[in-house]
Amino acid sequence: MVPVFDRRKLRPLILALAIALCAFQLTTCTGMWLLDPLIVRATHVGLVLSMLFLWRSSNRALRKNPRPEPAWSFLFDILMIAMSAGAAAYIITNFSYIQDRMPHIDELTAWDLFWGAGLIIAILEATRRVAGLALVIVSGIALLYAFFGHLLPGNMGHLYLAPNQIIESLYLLNDGIWGSSIGASATIIYVFILFGALLEKTNMASVFLELACLVTRNAKGGPAKAAIFGSALFGSVSGSAAANVYATGTFTIPLMKRVGYRPEFSGAVEAVASSGGLIMPPVMGSIAFVMAEYTGISYLSICKAALLPAVLYYLSLFTMIHFEALRHGLGGTPPDLIPELRSIKRKLYYLAPLALLIVLMIAGRSIIFSALLACAAVVALSFLSPETRLTPARFLAAMENAAANLLMIAACCACVGIVIGVVTMTGFGFSFVN
């Protein structure tokens, strides 16, 4: 009989890592613990990748339906955890050596090469587990270009790069894995994800869906339009399409099916509406923070630029829903599911943290300060009602939820760092322009 292992037994360990990640991110973001950015990013990557390999099975079917799996697959996960944590620990413990060495002049040690190659492999595998093969293929092509691009003719080629030069650029310098992409994940992005998780676990985000149902109560195909409004409102604070589907879809999809929408259409509406939350200010997907880091444009300016496209996105979706409802003669939201205006008025203060976040950013305060103060406002306001009170269990659930939503973002940011590192070291950007 093949030995099996149940990954669900690891939840206490995963929760402990989520708590450690939350404590580390908050202490470094608030300035209570002053560390060099390289150490912050290495610790962030080590914790996130360790959680990811414990949490997400290499088998896609097991990720969707957790159950006991062959023990050998978990042994592979242990190897990946050892490579991720070891590579991060090597950066932290040898920080002085890394800072003092002369790039591309000092020889790399065997440990430099070992941990650098191991971390690259671990990042590619982590990205495959949480985001599929698309980004892994792009990163793989970038690495092949770095190794063999000197064989290409004309401007598309580059000077020969030895394998140790490639690993040095990606692992020991700030232009690769430890670049601005993972820097955004290790600072701004985590705080915003925690903000959305706190709103969700305190049930304060419920006001978004209730407002959506009230606004669309008499509209044709009301439930689908409620899904649009609810997803847009929740997406404005979550920045995660998956979290958006989980928070709003469990209510809107059955409701859409109840009034006559086809099941596949109901699921499609929720998926598309939730995906739009990634471009709905003020809290957008990770790419918005990466854009701010790389372009030097303030995050507030990017929010302003994204607002009109986001509105047009939801307006076009609203129009399609309206015509679908007219074609099939679908009615509005069932009366028994429409909340009372009086009850919603009592909950309007739930929107105060979001309003505070927007006001602080418009006032010119830093993004991290605005997000941290918004998180503090959620915690403080939650105690005004037993329904929203942030109990220890809810706070632990919020930290676990924030860690779960961060896994894909952090892995993808690290993987993007590999691509950017290759573009920088090979001069591909200038070659492509030429």
Per-residue pLDDT of 373-397, as tens digits, reads 988 999 999 998 888 898 999 999 9
**What is the spatial distance between Cα 208 and Cα 318, in angstroms, rounded to a whole number?**
17
3-state SS assignment for residue 252: helix
Q: Is the pLDDT of residue 312 over 70?
A: yes
Q: Which residues contact 350 (CB under 8 A, 6 or more apart)?
A: 204, 205, 206, 207, 381, 388
Helix axes 367-382, 11-29, angle to 10 degrees: 120
**144-163: average pLDDT:** 86
* Helices and strands (H and E) in the chain: how many: 22, 2
**What is the spatial distance between Cα 53 and Cα 266, in angstroms, rounded to a whole number?**
33
Q: Is the pLDDT of residue 333 over 70?
A: no
3-state SS assignment for residue 70: strand
* Element at 228 (helix H, strand E): helix 222-238
How much is the pLDDT for 63? 64
Per residue in 351-381, pLDDT (tens digit) is 888 888 888 877 878 878 888 898 899 999 9
Q: What is the dihedral of CA 111, 418, 241, 7, to 10 degrees?
A: -30
Closest CA to 416 of 123, 114, 116: 123
Please, are residues 330 and 256 in contact by the beta-carbon 8 Å criterion? no
* Element at 5 (helix H, strand E): strand 4-5
Q: How far is CA 220 from CA 14, 98, 209, 230, 260, in A?
A: 45, 63, 17, 16, 12
**What is the spatial distance between Cα 271 and Cα 228, in angstroms, rounded to a whole number?**
10
Dihedral sign from CA coordinates of 383, 388, 394, 395: negative
The CA angle 280-284-286, to the nearest 5 degrees, is: 150
Q: How confident is the model at residue 123 (pLDDT cuts 50, 70, 90)?
A: very high
Q: Is the pLDDT of residue 222 over 80?
A: no
**143-166: average pLDDT:** 87
Please, are residues 86 and 122 in contact by the beta-carbon 8 Å criterion? no
CA-atom Rg of the chain in angstroms: 23
**What is the spatial distance between Cα 20 and Cα 212, in angstroms, rounded to a whole number?**
36
**340-358: average pLDDT:** 83
Instruction: Calculate the average pLDDT of the chain.
Output: 83
How much is the pLDDT for 283? 73
Percent of the chain with pLDDT over 90: 25
**198-226: average pLDDT:** 77
3-state SS assignment for residue 69: strand
Q: Is the pLDDT of residue 433 over 70?
A: no
Please, are residues 288 and 302 in contact by the beta-carbon 8 Å criterion? yes
Q: How far is CA 47 from CA 83, 244, 246, 287, in A?
A: 12, 25, 25, 21
| Predicted model pTM | 0.81
Per residue in 162-187, pLDDT (tens digit) is 899 999 999 998 888 998 888 888 88
How much is the pLDDT for 157? 82
Percent of the chain with pLDDT over 70: 91
